[in-house]
């Protein structure tokens, strides 16, 4: 085995992990091949629904930030929310339904409880990502699962407290971690992740973030998005993040903690080939967007195409790749391993 990978596995540290994050060429391929041997052949499919893009936070990198007056806002509620949940449940390959949205205190969370009950009645599972919400709301949402496993995603984005405060416009990392712990106390399985390539971030910060995700107790799922500059934000003119670093991050995390779901990286600029490579070597979770096309923001989140009418099936390029890799689409069994 590669000596640098050996060191990062035997003695994970900021320095040893940073060395792996810089891999390219043959070193990177060796890293990927090791991750591939460990990850197994199951692929988990999540249907992702984005019920709102209203946000009280003002993160400098995010198009949904509070001060972005150019963003067309929406909330999906009532029958429209029920319809998009039904569309997700109609996809037989879907393992769980994710309701992910900006931090919107005005959203009617009681309606979301109804959707959660519907998902579990259909034999699927739920992952929520609603930001920093009150404990009483978390308890209601958790109870809607009827005692079944339910995940809650709250990304730390950056684990460096000073950097976090800068990119989140004054919001504190300690408050973010407290919010994740509230979800845990309410009974949720915690999920988190980072953004690779944020302005002001260096490789040592990313290495520390990997150690945080590796060591966080009970973490069920982890992710590493790639920073994508978005118009009408303070970070809109900065260069995009390094896709290769995100791949190395997830591959090493797969090796160090093979008990956690790893999603395919998210990036505005990543090619379909890059996302499929992630699926081959280290990621075990892919996302299908369920949002009506007319309500979508102008940037993609998932590996799946958003062409009108494509949301009721797994796109053929994914099926072909799964077949080529001899991977198994794991229908409603993700909780058996994780």
Whole-number pLDDT of residue 42: 78
Q: pLDDT higher for 269 or 29? A: 29
Q: What is the mean pLDDT of residues 222-232?
A: 92
Q: 336 lies in a domain? A: no
Alpha carbon distances (Å) from 242 to 97, 137, 164: 29, 37, 19
Binned at pLDDT 50, 70 and 90, residue 295 comes out as very low
Whole-number pLDDT of residue 320: 63
Whole-number pLDDT of residue 267: 62
DSSP calls for 13-68: -HHHHHHHHT--HHHHHHHHHHHHHHH-SEEEEEEEE--B---S---TT-TT-TT-
Whole-number pLDDT of residue 218: 92
Q: 102 lies in a domain? A: yes
Lowest-pLDDT range, 66-70, 190-194, 214-218, 330-334? Answer: 330-334
Q: 337 lies in a domain? A: no
Average pLDDT, rounded, for the chain? 86
Q: Show the domain range for 217.
A: 3-328
Q: pLDDT higher for 145 or 273? A: 145
Whole-number pLDDT of residue 1: 67
Measured between alpha carbons, how far is 27 from 294 in angstroms, rounded to an integer? 43
Whole-number pLDDT of residue 308: 27
138's tokens: 């978390």
Q: 202 lies in a domain? A: yes
What is the tally of structural domains in the chain?
Answer: 1
Q: 22 lies in a domain? A: yes
Q: 338 lies in a domain? A: no
pTM attached to this predicted model: 0.88
Q: pLDDT higher for 327 or 229? A: 229
Q: 175 lies in a domain? A: yes
Measured between alpha carbons, how far is 187 from 58 in angstroms, rounded to an integer? 28
CATH classification at residue 79: 3.20.20.70
For the stretch 84-133, pLDDT in tens is 898 888 888 888 999 999 999 999 999 999 999 999 999 999 999 999 99
Q: 334 lies in a domain? A: no
């Amino acid at each position: 085995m590669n000596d640098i990978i050996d060191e990062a596995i035997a003695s994970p540290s900021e320095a040893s992990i940073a060395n792996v994050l810089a891999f390219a060429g043959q070193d990177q391929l060796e890293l990927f091949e090791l991750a591939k041997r460990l990850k197994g052949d199951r692929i988990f499919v999540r249907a992702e629904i984005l019920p709102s893009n209203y946000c009280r936070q003002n993160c400098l990198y995010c198009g949904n930030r509070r001060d972005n007056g150019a963003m067309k806002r929406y909330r999906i509620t009532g029958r429209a929310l029920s319809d998009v949940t039904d569309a997700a449940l109609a996809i037989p390959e879907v393992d769980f339904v994710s309701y992910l949205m900006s931090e919107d205190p005005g959203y009617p969370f009681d309606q979301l409880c109804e959707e959660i009950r519907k998902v579990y009645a259909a034999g699927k599972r739920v992952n929520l990502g609603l930001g920093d919400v009150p404990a009483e709301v978390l308890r209601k949402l958790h109870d809607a699962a009827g005692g079944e496993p339910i995940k809650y995603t709250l990304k730390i984005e950056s684990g460096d407290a000073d950097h976090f405060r800068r990119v989140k416009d004054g919001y504190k990392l300690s408050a973010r971690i407290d919010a994740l712990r509230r979800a845990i106390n309410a009974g949720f399985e915690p999920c988190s992740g980072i953004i690779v390539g944020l302005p002001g971030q260096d490789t040592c910060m990313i290495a520390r973030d990997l150690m945080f995700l590796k060591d966080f107790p009970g973490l069920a799922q982890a992710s590493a998005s790639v920073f994508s500059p978005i118009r009408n934000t303070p970070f809109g003119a900065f260069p995009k993040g390094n896709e290769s670093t995100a791949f190395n991050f997830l591959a090493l995390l797969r090796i160090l903690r093979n008990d956690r779901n790893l999603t395919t990286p998210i990036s505005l600029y990543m090619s379909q080939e890059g996302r499929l490579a992630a699926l081959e070597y280290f990621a075990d979770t892919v996302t299908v967007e369920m949002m009506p096309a007319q309500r979508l923001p102008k940037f993609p989140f998932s590996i799946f195409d958003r062409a009108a009418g494509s949301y009721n099936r797994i796109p053929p390029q994914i099926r072909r790749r799964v077949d080529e890799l001899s991977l198994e689409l794991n229908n409603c069994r993700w909780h058996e391993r994780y």
